Structure 1
Amino acid sequence: MSRTPLALAALSTAAVPGLDARSVRQEELPGDYDVAVVTGHDDQEWVIRAPRTTVAGAALEAELELLDALRLYVDTGVLPFVVPQVAGSALLPEGGRAVVHRRIVGETLDVERLHAGPGLAADLGRAIAAIHELPTSVVEGCGLPSYSAAEYRERRLTEVDEAAKTGRVPPTLLRRWEAALEDVSLWKFQPVVAHGDLAADQVLVDRGRVVAVSAWSDARVADPADDLAWLLVAAPLDAVDSVMEAYQLRRTELSDPRLVDRALLVGELALARWLLHGVRHRLPDVVEDATSMLEDLDEATRDDG
Structure 2
Amino acid sequence: MARTPLALAALSTAAVPGLEAASVRTDSMPGDYDTAVVTSQDDQEWVVRAPRSTVAGAALEAEIELLESLKLYVDTGVLPFVVPQIAGFALLPEGGRAVVHRRIVGEWLDVEALAPGPGLAADLGRAIAAIHELPASVVEGCGLPGYTAAEYRDRRMSEVDEAAKTGRIPSTLLHRWEAALEDVSLWKFQPVVVHGDLAADQMLVDRGRVVAISGWSEAKVADPADDLAWLLVAAPVEAADSIMEAYLLRRTELSDPRLQDRALLVGELALARWLLHGVRHKLPEVVEDATAMLADLDEATREEG
Q: What is the alpha-carbon distance in structure 2 between the residues aligned to residue 169 and residue 139 of structure 1?
A: 35
What is the percentage of aligned positions where both structures have the same residue?
Answer: 84
Output aligned runs, 1:250-289, within 5 Å. Answer: 250-289=250-289
Q: CA deviation at 1:104?
A: 0.2
Q: TM-score, normalised on structure 2?
A: 1.00
For residue 87 of structure 1, what is the amino acid of its counterpart? A
The residue that corresponds to 1:17 in the other structure is: 17
Give secondary structure in 2 for the equivalent of 1:145: coil
Structure 2 unmatched ranges of 5 or more: none
Q: What is the alpha-carbon distance in structure 2 between the residues aligned to residue 7 and residue 201 of structure 1?
A: 24
Query: Does residue 1:116 correspond to 2:144, yes or no?
Result: no
Query: Does residue 1:199 correspond to 2:202, yes or no?
Result: no
For residue 14 of structure 1, what is the amino acid of its counterpart? A
Q: What is the alpha-carbon distance in structure 1 between the residues aligned to residue 190 and residue 36 of structure 2?
A: 38
Give secondary structure in 2 for the equivalent of 1:216: coil
For residue 235 of structure 1, what is the amino acid of its counterpart? A
Q: What is the alpha-carbon distance in structure 2 between the residues aligned to residue 263 and residue 277 of structure 1?
A: 21
Aligned length: 305
Query: Does residue 1:7 correspond to 2:7, yes or no?
Result: yes
For residue 194 of structure 1, what is the amino acid of its counterpart? V
Q: What is the alpha-carbon distance in structure 2 between the residues aligned to residue 163 and residue 302 of structure 1?
A: 20
The residue that corresponds to 1:49 in the other structure is: 49
The residue that corresponds to 1:214 in the other structure is: 214
Q: What is the alpha-carbon distance in structure 2 between the residues aligned to residue 119 and residue 164 of structure 1?
A: 41
Give secondary structure in 1 for the equivalent of 2:218: coil
**4+ residue stretches of structure 1 with deviation over 6 A?**
none
Q: What is the alpha-carbon distance in structure 2 between the residues aligned to residue 41 and residue 160 of structure 1?
A: 52
The residue that corresponds to 1:69 in the other structure is: 69
Q: What is the alpha-carbon distance in structure 2 between the residues aligned to residue 283 and residue 14 of structure 1?
A: 37
Give secondary structure in 2 for the equivalent of 1:212: strand
Q: CA deviation at 1:123?
A: 0.5
Task: Give a deviation string over 1:17-57, Cα, whole Å, max 9, x none.
Answer: 00000000000100000000000011100000000000000
Q: What is the alpha-carbon distance in structure 2 between the residues aligned to residue 209 and residue 302 of structure 1?
A: 37
Give secondary structure in 2 for the equivalent of 1:84: coil
Task: Give a deviation string over 1:135-182, Cα, whole Å, max 9, x none.
Answer: 000000000010000000000000000000000000000000000000
Output aligned runs, 1:230-249, within 5 Å. Answer: 230-249=230-249
Q: CA deviation at 1:67?
A: 0.3
Q: What is the alpha-carbon distance in structure 1 between the residues aligned to residue 98 and residue 162 of structure 2?
A: 35
Task: Give a deviation string over 1:86-118, Cα, whole Å, max 9, x none.
Answer: 000000000000000000000000001111111
Q: What is the alpha-carbon distance in structure 2 between the residues aligned to residue 134 and residue 290 of structure 1?
A: 34
The residue that corresponds to 1:151 in the other structure is: 151
Q: CA deviation at 1:2?
A: 1.5
Give secondary structure in 2 for the equivalent of 1:198: coil
Output aligned runs, 1:90-101, within 5 Å. Answer: 90-101=90-101
For residue 297 of structure 2, what is the amino acid of its counterpart? L
Q: CA deviation at 1:132?
A: 0.1
Q: What is the alpha-carbon distance in structure 2 between the residues aligned to residue 253 and residue 63 of structure 1?
A: 28
For residue 59 of structure 2, what is the amino acid of its counterpart? A
Q: What is the alpha-carbon distance in structure 1 between the residues aligned to residue 145 and residue 262 of structure 2?
A: 20
Give secondary structure in 2 for the equivalent of 1:115: coil
